[in-house]
């Protein structure tokens, strides 16, 4: 699927980011801030969106999942 913005054919790259956080409240704040950053950088030359969010493996202090 080809994407055009402002009449230009756009290229695509994916960026993977790891976020470590202490509480779900911190995560919710972080997610909102990331969305705001992406919104601010969008223009006719680029468009960034969150494609997916995945939960990683959480390790307890005793080393067990």
pLDDT, tens digit (0-9, with 9 covering 90-100), for 4-29: 777 888 899 999 999 999 999 999 99
Global model pTM greater than 0.85: no
Q: Is the dihedral of CA 32, 36, 42, 46 positive or negative?
A: negative
Q: Give the contacts of 34 (CB within 8 A, at least 6 positions apart).
A: 17, 50
Least Cα distance to 51 among 6, 17, 9, 3 occurs for 17
């Amino acid at each position: 699927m080809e994407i055009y913005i402002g009449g230009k054919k756009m290229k695509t790259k994916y960026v993977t980011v790891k976020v470590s956080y202490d509480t779900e409240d911190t995560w919710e704040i972080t997610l909102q801030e990331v969305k705001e950053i992406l919104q601010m950088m969008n223009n006719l030359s680029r468009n960034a969106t969150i494609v997916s969010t995945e939960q990683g493996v959480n390790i307890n202090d005793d080393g067990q999942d």
